[in-house]
């Protein structure tokens, strides 16, 4: 029997070998590209020191662009690049790499998505990467150096995107799982999880698992192959247990180079976990690569599987590309391939769970029978409904001024959240002499730009950006607001995907102002939990906020309606819905 210390030591060695194999592979593909990406993963104090060191020397704009990139200011990097005149082969290569990463070009040779590469652009890895990022899969394959690791990786990933391959397991690999009485058992196949990743995805996954356990379902989860070593956690071990939920880690000694081989290895590692756990259902979530692996294990074992569509992968990708200045991504080859693979996945599943009626309508429009869909919306902890704290008292507990009318959000700070509109609306109201203030809680690529925008609007003393906070602090920030704002932009991903945070604000009795988009109207306009305003219209947003600032009775009425609405969307209720679904699939 292996001693626990020896087992942990062996696990650490495995993690180091695995991390090293991934790093060597990327370094071999393109050293400069790898070093640029690795530089952003360094501790903030290190990247800050590097940025300071880059302020002196030749090629000032190029150095400034590199410093901005390392410190997570892509917009500043883009501005600096426009004034850069790189010298030498290395300087030109660095300029091209940075331009590709910030989405402001396809490299120094002028290739852009949808255009055939110029003759002198052939076999250029920078141009190939730019075309790949822009969604031109075929163009990237044509340009990538034929015998390079980059070309090999793109060919493999393209085969998966095109649906040419999917993993399969022999019937015997996962057959004969044990059953445990009458209780359904669900093995969840996840992309990432707590405690190593804190995001909306991991938060919902953990809440679902806990709700299912409370409903009498046996639960466990397995994360993607190589996670969390792939994000730099080298002492993770084979499993983590969080709040009684076990997260299995699928950690090989080395990670296969090709996407096809990684999927096959992923399925092979997942199968014995499923055989040991003995689920009555396999449950996975967006994206389609999770579905491919889960489907392989389900087919090999005869176990039904559920695909939980939490969003539309292709639209999320378009939102990120649009934020980087790409206005043609929704007509790209990659967009069509992602859409096809996601559709193929939910049509193949035994049942589909999704988050809203709006999203369910989208799936039906793409060919899914509505009887195979169960809506399990984002929900709240029932304890949020019980504790009533006045906004001014919550602000004092957070060290914020009690006075003023506070509006804001608790969210990931990304472009499609549209938070610039909220800041502009606050500035308009303050220009009218109204003491309106903003609190924007969270972190993300848009945070530096939002802070600068607040300064430009004269809100330096009237807007606070606490950054990422813990769960308890997030709830307290919800309570500190007089109005919770969801100023999402009018892009497709925002029209169909309903966020969690406004429902939590409703549970706290706070009225919501949201962009007038279908997925938000479903939870704000229809149940009367807040007010809607046109997306991107700062004047209209200012009018809605002023209406609430002037009418305490309206705020109270909307807050009460929100609390009632949230009471119907608790995790305990969701757990019961899942149990009924699983029991039906097992019959």
Q: Is residue 161 part of a domain?
A: no
Q: How would residue 175 be classed by pLDDT, with cut points 50, 70 and 90? A: very low
- State residue 4's pLDDT score: 59
Query: Diameter of the chain by CA atoms?
Result: 74
Q: Is residue 4 part of a domain?
A: no
Q: Say which DSSP state 116 is in.
A: P
Q: Is residue 178 part of a domain?
A: yes
Hey, what's the torsion of the CAs at 510, 513, 514, 518, to 10 degrees?
80
Residues 357, 393 within the same domain: no
- State residue 180's pLDDT score: 54
pLDDT surpassing 50 at residue 106: no
- State residue 109's pLDDT score: 34
Q: How would residue 53 be classed by pLDDT, with cut points 50, 70 and 90? A: confident
Per mean pLDDT, which range of 6-20, 225-239, 338-352, 568-582 is the poorest?
6-20
Residues 442, 294 within the same domain: no
Q: What residues have CB less than 8 Å from 202, skipping those under 6 apart? A: 190, 192, 193, 194
pLDDT surpassing 90 at residue 480: yes
The 10s digit of each residue's pLDDT in 442-472 is 988 888 889 999 999 999 999 999 998 988 8
- What average pLDDT score do residues 572-580 get? 97
Q: How would residue 28 be classed by pLDDT, with cut points 50, 70 and 90? A: low
Residues 345, 473 within the same domain: no
Residues 285, 364 within the same domain: yes
What number of residues does the chain have? 587
Residues 360, 395 within the same domain: no
- State residue 52's pLDDT score: 79
- What average pLDDT score do residues 484-489 get? 98
The domain in which residue 505 lies consists of: 382-567
Q: Is residue 144 part of a domain?
A: no
- State residue 177's pLDDT score: 47
Q: How would residue 119 be classed by pLDDT, with cut points 50, 70 and 90? A: very low
Residues 487, 546 within the same domain: yes
Q: Is residue 506 part of a domain?
A: yes
pLDDT surpassing 50 at residue 22: yes
- What average pLDDT score do residues 525-544 get? 97
- What average pLDDT score do residues 514-535 get? 96
Residues 221, 78 within the same domain: no
Q: Whose CA is closest to 260, among 138, 153, 125, 128?
A: 153
pLDDT surpassing 90 at residue 78: no
325 sits in the region (left: phi over 0; alpha: psi -120 to 50; else beta) called: left
How far, in Å, CA of 246 to CA of 251, rounded? 15
Domain boundary among 104, 124, 147: 104
pTM summary value: 0.87
Q: Is residue 160 part of a domain?
A: no
Residues 73, 91 within the same domain: yes
Angstrom CA distances, 289 to 129, 160, 187, 295, 313, stand at: 21, 9, 16, 10, 11
Write the DSSP string, 3-61.
-HHHHHHHHHHHHHHHHHHHHHHHHHH-HHHHHHHHHTTS-HHHHHHHHHHTTSSSSHH
The 10s digit of each residue's pLDDT in 502-515 is 999 999 999 999 99
- What average pLDDT score do residues 239-261 get? 94
Residues 371, 402 within the same domain: no
pLDDT surpassing 60 at residue 2: no
Q: Is residue 301 part of a domain?
A: yes
**How many separate domains does the chain show?**
3
Q: Is residue 28 part of a domain?
A: no
- State residue 58's pLDDT score: 67
Q: What CATH number does residue 525 fall under?
A: 3.40.50.2000
How far, in Å, CA of 468 to CA of 578, rounded? 31
Residues 226, 293 within the same domain: yes
Other CB atoms within a 10 A radius of the CB of residue 567 amount to 15
- State residue 396's pLDDT score: 95
Residues 358, 387 within the same domain: no
Residues 435, 478 within the same domain: yes
| Averaged confidence pLDDT in the chain | 89
The 10s digit of each residue's pLDDT in 318-337 is 998 887 778 889 999 999 99
pLDDT surpassing 60 at residue 537: yes
- State residue 236's pLDDT score: 63
Write the DSSP string, 345-362.
HHHHSSEEEES-HHHHHH
């Amino acid at each position: 029997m292996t001693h626990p210390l020896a087992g942990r030591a062996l696990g650490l060695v495995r993690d180091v070998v695995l991390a090293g194999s991934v790093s060597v592979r990327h370094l071999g593909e393109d050293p400069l590209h790898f070093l640029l990406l690795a530089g952003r993963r360094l501790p903030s104090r290190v990247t800050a020191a590097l940025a300071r060191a880059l302020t002196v020397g030749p090629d000032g704009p190029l150095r400034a662009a590199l410093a901005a990139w390392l410190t997570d200011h892509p917009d500043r990097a883009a501005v600096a690049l426009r004034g850069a005149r790189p010298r030498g082969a290395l300087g030109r290569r660095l300029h091209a790499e940075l331009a590709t990463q910030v989405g402001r070009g396809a490299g120094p040779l002028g290739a852009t998505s949808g255009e055939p590469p110029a003759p002198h652009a052939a076999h250029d890895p920078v141009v190939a990467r730019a075309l790949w990022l822009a969604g031109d899969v075929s163009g990237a394959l044509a340009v990538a150096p034929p015998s390079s690791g980059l070309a090999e990786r793109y060919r493999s990933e393209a085969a998966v995107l095109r649906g040419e391959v999917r993993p399969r397991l022999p019937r015997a690999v996962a057959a004969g799982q044990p059953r445990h009485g009458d209780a359904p058992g669900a093995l969840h196949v996840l992309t990432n999880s707590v405690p190593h990743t804190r995001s909306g995805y991991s938060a919902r996954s953990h809440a679902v698992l806990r709700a299912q356990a409370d409903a009498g379902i046996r639960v466990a989860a397995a994360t993607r192959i190589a996670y969390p070593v792939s994000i730099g956690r080298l002492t993770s071990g084979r499993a983590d247990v969080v709040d009684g939920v076990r997260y299995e880690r699928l950690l090989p000694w080395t990670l296969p180079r090709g996407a096809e081989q990684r999927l096959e290895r992923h399925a092979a590692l997942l199968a014995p976990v499923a055989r040991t756990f003995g689920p009555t259902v396999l449950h996975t979530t967006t994206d389609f690569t999770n579905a491919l692996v889960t489907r392989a294990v389900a087919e090999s074992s005869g176990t039904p599987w559920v695909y939980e569509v939490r969003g539309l992968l292709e639209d999320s990708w378009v939102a990120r590309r649009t934020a980087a200045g790409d206005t043609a991504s929704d007509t790209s080859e990659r967009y069509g391939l992602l859409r096809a693979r996601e559709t193929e996945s939910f049509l193949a599943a035994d049942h589909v769970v999704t988050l809203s009626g709006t999203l369910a309508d989208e799936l039906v429009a793409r060919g899914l029978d509505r009887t195979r869909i169960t809506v399990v919306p984002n929900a709240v902890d029932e304890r949020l409904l019980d504790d009533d704290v006045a906004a001014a008292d919550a602000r004092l507990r957070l060290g914020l001024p009690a006075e003023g009318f506070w509006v804001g959000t608790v969210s990931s700070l990304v472009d499609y959240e549209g938070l610039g509109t909220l800041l502009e609306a606050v500035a308009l109201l303050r220009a009218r002499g109204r003491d309106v203030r903003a609190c924007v809680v969270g972190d993300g690529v848009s945070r530096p730009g939002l802070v600068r925008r607040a300064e430009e609007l004269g809100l330096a003393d009237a807007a606070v950006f606490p950054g990422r906070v813990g769960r308890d602090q997030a709830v307290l920030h919800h309570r500190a607001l007089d109005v919770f704002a969801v100023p999402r932009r009018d892009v497709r991903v925002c029209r169909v995907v309903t966020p969690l945070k406004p429902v939590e604000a409703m549970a706290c009795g706070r009225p919501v102002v949201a962009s007038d988009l279908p997925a938000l109207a479903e939870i704000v306009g229809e149940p009367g939990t807040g007010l809607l305003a046109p997306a991107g219209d700062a004047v209209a947003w200012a009018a809605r906020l002023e209406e609430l600032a002037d009418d305490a009775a309206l705020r109270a009425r909307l807050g009460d309606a929100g609390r009632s609405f949230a009471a119907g969307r608790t995790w305990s209720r969701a757990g019961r819905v899942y149990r009924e679904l699983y029991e039906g699939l097992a019959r």
